[in-house]
Every structure is written in structure tokens, then in C-alpha cells.
Copies of this chain bind each other. A is one copy, B any other.
Amino acid sequence: MQTDELFMRKALDRARLGEGKVLPNPMVGALIVRDGRILGQGHHACYGGIHAEAAALRDCREDPKGATLYVTLEPCCHRGEGKHNPPCTDAILKAQISRVVISRLDPNPAVSGRGAGILRQKGVEVHCGILEKESARLNRVYETLICTDRPYVHLKAALTLDGFLAAADGSSRWISGSESREKVMAFRSRCDGILTGRGTLYADLPSLTVRHPDNSHRNDPQPARIFLSTKGHIPGDWEKPGGPVLVYHDRSVSQPGCPESFQFTPVPAGENGLSLPDVLSDLRRRGIRQLLVEGGSRVYGSFIRSGLWDRLTLFIAPVLLGEGIPFSDGLDIGSITSKLHLKDVSSVPSGDDIMIDGYREALSCLPA
């Protein structure tokens, strides 16, 4: 068992090499081992590239017949439209691997236990659940994308100890320190789109770009900049270099906006503003898979009230304001017993601030 964990940890390290390169696919790593010796290893290196199992088999310097395969996610067993690779179960059986150790079953409904089942049927010894939590944590974004038709929604905010986004006069630069702002740049560089509301846009005129610490733009493609603006208004003097600009507005507003380079999209609107399910499914259709939401109060409130979020990162600065703009415009929670509890919470210092990270849903894993 300890040996299995040891090799699975190595497979997880391989999987991580795919970070930022494989979405909407999962990060996966694989190792082929015989008598405690690694014969081959591989990982899923880029979207459309070969799977980790195939890469590990190809890497073998000797015949892997009778060896053990360690793989961080259940091998796929299906063919399908848009799928670039043949089933890994076929390759494993063909190579006559005799034992397969899997960290986590694939939540993809097209696999979801069927991959492991096929291998077992053909007489392969299969173990599941080794370091499952680590594998699940690695692929939170993938797991959300496979089960929903919206982007993975990551809310991020900088707050004072007493829960304010900004002072009473709207000023908010800066609540958090430079280390926290650098971490935000790392979040931005990993997302496809940054969303903010009309209020924040007018108050801060943010450029919403990925920048180096010296404030220069990176060469990587910039994430899309997405605004929720019921009437389709954008400040006249806001047109900054960066990613494409998408503006969502109330479909009952007939002639919104200004610059032609901005894409205006009408969506239904209700009392609480624009319909988030419509905005999100449109974003997903446009290829936005990881969405970073950067305020303000109304936007955080709508996302949380509607349950359309996955991760919340708060940079809490050791300062007090006493009054100001609250984190959200309300969550319809009247009593302490109904409080919203973040799941899988972690906290780390971030310069003088504390970065608190939590999720809407806890990772569900097999009992260890």
C-alpha cells in the first residue's frame, strides 16, 4: 500500500506538468512499474495530445507485459465526437498490464466507473482511491466543466477585517498588499475571462489585464474582459489595451454601448439584474472555461445567491474601515443557522494579508 502511494505521488507530480495546458480535459499522470522499477511514465501534456496512459506505455524501454499501471484518473473507455484519442482501456489490455492502480474515478458520465469495470472484466486487478483527494483537488475545474454547461466560476475579492470592499467614498486602492495583488495576477493568467460589474467598472476603471510586477503586459494572450451592465453603458474614457471586451446588457435595451470593438450581448434581466445562467452559458459557448469574478457587491451577491460559483478567494487585509461598501449586497440569509459555510477552506499568509480560499462544494471522495 505504501508503495502504491509512493508511485501514485510520482504520477500526480507528472499530472501537474499539464497545468494550464489541457482544459477542458483533466490533468492526468501515469507510471508503469514492475518489481519496484519504473518502466515508463507520461502525462497528458496538452489539449488534443495523447493521454497519460498512452504516453507512459510509449515511454517504456521494455515490454510492460505483467506490469502495474499507476494512473491519477480512471482510464477512458469511450470513443466520441470531438474526442481525439482512442480508449485507453484498449491500450492497457493490449499491453497486457496485469494490475491498474487508479487514484480517482472519472466523473465524466461517459466513463464514471466503466473504465475500471472493463479492465476488471478482462481479468486486470484494479485498485481505486489511492490519494484520491489529491487527484480530485488537481482537477476541480475539469470536474465542474464536465458536469455543467457553464464556466468554472472563481470569485476573488480583497476585504478589510470588517468585511468592506471599499471605503464609504468608493475608494479601494489599495486594501490588500502587493503580494496579494501579485497572486491576483497569477489567477488572471490562468483564467480565460475576468468579469466585473458596472459599478466597479465606473468606480475603478480597471484594465483587467495580466501584468508583470513592472506593470507591463505579458505576451500571453490576455483573458477576455466581461462586463455586466444592464443598460449597456461603459465609461466613455474606458478603452484600454487588453483582451476582447464582452458586454452583457438587458435585452430590453435596444441600442446599447459605444465602441464597435466591444461585443454587446443581450440577455434576459429580472429584479436582481441580468440573468446569470444566460450570461454563463453564453460565455461557455464562447470558449470561456475559467471565469474570474472581480466584484463588486452586486455581482458577488448575484453569483452567490444563485449558487453559480465554485471557488471564493478572499484577501483579508489587517485593516478596519468601520463603514464602506460591503462584500455583497445581501445573500437572503436572515438567521445565523442559515449561514453559508465555505467548504475545504484553507488559509495562508499573503504578505501582511491572509488569503482565505474556500469552495461552494466539498470534494467528495471515497472514504480513505
Contacts and interface: CB of A to CB of B under 8 A. Distances in A.
Given A320-B328, A322-B331, A333-B167, A162 B159 contact: yes
A199 to B, nearest CB: 16
Contacts of A354: 347, 354, 356
A323 B330 contact: yes
Interface stretch (A139-147, A169-177, A180-188, A245-253): A169-177
A336 B162 contact: no
Given A323-B333, A335-B167, A328 B162 contact: yes
A341 B177 CA distance: 12
Contact of A328 (B169, B314, B322): B322
Contacts of A352: 345
A367 interface: no
A169 B334 contact: yes
14 contacts: A161-B327, A167-B339, A169-B334, A171-B335, A171-B337, A304-B322, A318-B341, A318-B356, A319-B340, A319-B342, A320-B328, A320-B333, A322-B340, A347-B347
Contacts of A338: 167
Contact of A321 (B168, B320, B329, B339): B339
Given A318-B356, A347-B349, A352-B345, A334 B168 contact: yes
Nearest to A166: B336
Contacts of A175: 336, 339
A160 interface: yes
A160 B172 CA distance: 20
A301 interface: yes
Given A163-B159, A163-B160, A318 B334 contact: no
A227 interface: no
A260 interface: no
A164 interface: yes
A319 to B, nearest CB: 4
Task: Tell me the dominant secondary structure on chain A's binding face.
Answer: loop
A332 interface: yes
A336 B163 contact: no
Interface residues of A, number: 50
A160 B173 CA distance: 23
A27 to B, nearest CB: 27
A321 B341 CA distance: 9
Which of A166, A169, A329 has most B Cβ within 10 Å? A169
Contacts of A320: 304, 327-328, 331, 333, 339-340, 342
Contacts of A349: 347
A129 interface: no
A268 interface: no
A279 interface: no
A99 B326 CA distance: 58
A257 interface: no
A149 to B, nearest CB: 26
A169 B320 CA distance: 24
A166 B358 CA distance: 21
